[in-house]
Amino acid sequence: MPSKQVLESKQAIVADLAEKIRKAQSGVIVKYEGITVGDDTEMRKKMREADVDYVVMKNTLTARACDEVGYGEIKEHLEGMNAIAISYKDPVAPAKILKEYAEKIETFEIRVGFLEGKVIDKDTVNELADIPSREILLSRFLGSIQSPVSGFARAIQAIIDKQGEGAPAEEASAAEPAAE
């Protein structure tokens, strides 16, 4: 039987993980197997740059934290060695990064995730990963708003240019009789 100190340590880990999950916008659990040290280092760097917490955690501790938060459905996906990625700012970031590695490494696979208080399946996590970044979506949105306005401005400019072409000829005609 574990000592009181070990139990308290595990309870603190569960409480900390549960609090992170509670505060998160999204999270993804992956089967953490078959990844090389180089790939793991590169992936963790991308996670840090995207402000995503990523940790390999014992399944029992992850399951207890998920139960505490109300994500009990996740427990059925916790087999073998798993890692959890948690994002507080960008709900798409962990799915995007992990999908990239799941496509490269056959044994590294997305298992389940959570988003906005709900557990989402592997397919939904993959769909989430395919959503363009916030910056791309904003630029597309601004482009679609700007397109009619810029078209209108070009049409007005064309009218002005067309009227301007006739004006110099009329001015030249008016100036010739005055010179005589």
Q: In the numeric block, which tokens belong to residue 176?
A: 């010739």
As a whole number of angstroms, the distance between CA 115 and CA 145 comes to 29
Q: Residues with Cβ < 8 Å from 85, sequence gap 6 or more?
A: 27, 28, 29, 30, 47, 52, 53, 54, 94, 97, 98
Scored b (16 or more CB within 10 A) or e, 121-142 reads ebeebbebbeeeeeeeeeeeee
As a whole number of angstroms, the distance between CA 87 and CA 26 comes to 5
- pLDDT tens, residue by residue, 106-146: 888 999 999 988 999 989 888 888 887 777 878 888 878 87
Name beta bridge partners: 114. Answer: 27, 119
Q: Which 8-state DSSP code applies to residue 54?
A: E
When pLDDT is cut at 50, 70 and 90, the band that residue 180 belongs to is very low
As a whole number of angstroms, the distance between CA 14 and CA 19 comes to 8
Q: What CATH number was assigned to the domain covering residues 4-131? A: 3.30.70.1730
Looking at residue 172, its pLDDT comes to: 47
- pLDDT tens, residue by residue, 83-97: 999 999 888 889 999
- Quick one: which of 143, 130, 125 has its CA closest to 84? 125
- pLDDT tens, residue by residue, 8-60: 888 999 999 999 999 998 999 999 888 889 999 999 999 999 999 999 989 99
Is 26 in contact with 51 (CB distance < 8 Å)? no
Q: In the numeric block, which tokens belong to residue 73?
A: 């459905």
Q: Is 98 left (phi over 0), alpha (psi -120 to 50) or beta?
A: alpha
By 3-state DSSP, what share of the chain in percent is helix, strand and coil, each rounded to 5? 65, 15, 20
